[in-house]
Amino acid sequence: MGMTMSQKILAAHAGLDSVKAGQLIEANLDMVLGNDVTSPVAVNVFEGCGADSVFDKNKIAMVMDHFTPNKDIKSAQHCLQVRNFAGKYEIKNYFDVGEMGIEHALLPEKGLVGPGSLVIGADSHTCTYGALGAFSTGVGSTDMAAGMISGKAWFKVPGAIKFVLTGKPAKWVSGKDIILHIIGKIGVDGALYKSMEFTGDGLQYLSIDDRLCIANMAIEAGAKNGIFPVDDITREYCNGRFQGEPVEYTADEDAEYDEVYTIDLSALRPTVAFPHLPENTKTIDNVGEVKIDQVVIGSCTNGRLSDLRIAAQVLKDKKIAKGVRCIILPGTQQIWLDAMHEGLFDIFVNAGAVVSTPTCGPCLGGHMGILAQGERAVSTTNRNFVGRMGHVDSEVYLASPAVAAASAITGYITDPERV
| 151-193 tens-digit pLDDT | 999 999 999 999 999 999 999 999 999 999 999 999 999 999 9
- Helices (H) and strands (E) in the chain — how many of each? 13, 18
Q: Which domain holds residue 53?
A: 5-263
User: Of 204, 229, 263, which closes a domain?
Assistant: 263
Q: How far is CA 393 from CA 230, 292, 295, in A?
A: 43, 14, 17
297 with 206, same domain: the answer is: no
| Bridge pairing between strands 135-138 and 194-199 | unpaired
How far, rounded to the nearest angstrom, does the alpha carbon of residue 374 sit from its chain's CA centroid?
A: 27
Confidence of residue 207 (pLDDT cuts 50, 70, 90): very high
226 with 145, same domain: the answer is: yes
Instruction: Calculate what percentage of the chain has a pLDDT beyond 90.
Output: 97
d(CA 176, CA 270): 9
253 with 280, same domain: the answer is: no
392 with 246, same domain: the answer is: no
What is the arithmetic mean of pLDDT over 314-342? 97
47 with 150, same domain: the answer is: yes
Domain annotation covers residue 291: yes
Domain annotation covers residue 268: no
Instruction: Calculate what percentage of the chain has a pLDDT beyond 70.
Output: 100
CATH number at residue 294: 3.30.499.10
232 with 335, same domain: the answer is: no
211 with 133, same domain: the answer is: yes
325 with 386, same domain: the answer is: yes
185 with 290, same domain: the answer is: no
Whether 22 has a pLDDT exceeding 90, the answer reads yes
Tally of structural domains, the chain: 2
The residues that bridge with 163 in the sheet, in sequence order, are: 198, 261
**Number of residues that this document lists for the chain:** 419
207 with 287, same domain: the answer is: no
201 with 288, same domain: the answer is: no
User: Of 263, 292, 310, which closes a domain?
Assistant: 263
d(CA 100, CA 36): 11
CB atoms within 10 A of CB 337: 12
Whether 1 has a pLDDT exceeding 90, the answer reads no
Please tell me the predicted confidence (pLDDT) of residue 396: 97
d(CA 53, CA 31): 16
User: Of 234, 263, 292, which closes a domain?
Assistant: 263
Confidence of residue 100 (pLDDT cuts 50, 70, 90): confident
